Amino acid sequence: MFISVKNVSKIYKMDRVEIEALKNVSLDIEPGDFICLMGPSGAGKSTLLHVIGCIENPTQGDVIIHGKNVKEMNDGSLSLFRNKHIGFIFQSFNLLPVLTVYENVEYPLMIRGRKVDKEQVLSVIESVGLQDYIKHRPDELSGGQRQRVAVARSIVTEPDIIIADEPTANLDSRTGDLIIDLLLKLNKKSNTAFLFSTHNEAVSKYAKKIIHILDGEFQS
């Protein structure tokens, strides 16, 4: 096992009110897993993804990735760790609007400060079928194409896990199916683990493992 979430709780403080978004959850993720996190809005899906994605610290509990406890890392090493080991796909694509398709996909490699292998970037873009759009900006692409750019950006660093927060929510069902299909193919090809959230039952049918979450707790 390379990711272990142990007894994680997350409490948000809003003025004088405390909201417990995660309640003592534990989860192990193996290489090649394709896990779907299901639950209604406000169930704690995004919070769990953020905690596993090392962009949010748990209030209690530990997240251990490759034997390293995320809590013990400082911001600099955590940034590097995210860049090397974790890929992100967001519901609203979150592409950098001023960069082209090529530059958006190149970005995670570029920030490593080393010379970027252009062939590697182009081959990833080709793998998501956007080789004819490398010079296009996000606002010149459809929703499905944008999400494919986001997928390419998430896999270009060859991470151990890709975290996708409702990747099909802003897409029509056909395009959503195509994106999930693409993620499945990549999962099979690279042995990268995928953890994605959705509240769409139709999407969850593709998952090898489904975790239901409600009010911050896993449902058996």
Partner 1 sequence: MFYFKLGLRNIIRNFRKTMLTMATLTIGMAAILLYNGSNAYVFGQFSENLIRSEYGHFQIYKSGYLANVDDHPYDHLIEGYREISGELMKIPGVKFVAPRLSFSGLIASDNTSTTIYGQAGNPRQENKFWHNTISNGSFISSDDPEGILAGKGLVRRLSGELGDTFTIMATMKGKGLNGIDVKLKGVIDLGEADARNKMYGLVNLDRAQHLLGVGQSVDRLLVMLDNTAKMQKVEPEIREICSNNGLEYRRWDELAVVFKGIRDMFKMNEYILCGIIISILTFIIANTMSMNLLERMREIGTIRALGTNRKRVMYIFLAESSLIGLIGSFAGIILGLLLALCINLTGGIYHGPSGYHTFIAPQLQGILIYMLVFILDAAVSALMTARRASRMYIAETLRYI
CB 109 to partner 1: min, Å: 10
CB nearer to partner 1: pick between 6 and 84: 84
CB 128 to partner 1: min, Å: 17
Backbone angle region of 32, left / alpha / beta, with phi > 0 → left and psi within -120 to 50 → alpha: left
Residues that bind partner 1 (CB under 8 A): 46-47, 50, 53, 55-56, 75-76, 79-84, 88, 90, 92, 94, 96-99, 107-108, 110-112, 153
CB nearer to partner 1: pick between 15 and 201: 15
Instruction: Identify any residues that bridge with 218 across adjacent strands, giving them in sequence order.
Output: 213
CB 143 to partner 1: min, Å: 16
Distance of CA 14 to the CA centre of its chain: 26
CB nearer to partner 1: pick between 148 and 153: 153
CB nearer to partner 1: pick between 111 and 202: 111
3-state secondary structure of 133: helix
Least Cα distance to 186 among 203, 164, 214 occurs for 164
Instruction: Identify any residues that bridge with 5 across adjacent strands, giving them in sequence order.
Output: 27, 63
CB 108 to partner 1: min, Å: 5
Please, what is the Cα angle at 120 between 114 and 123, to 5 degrees?
160
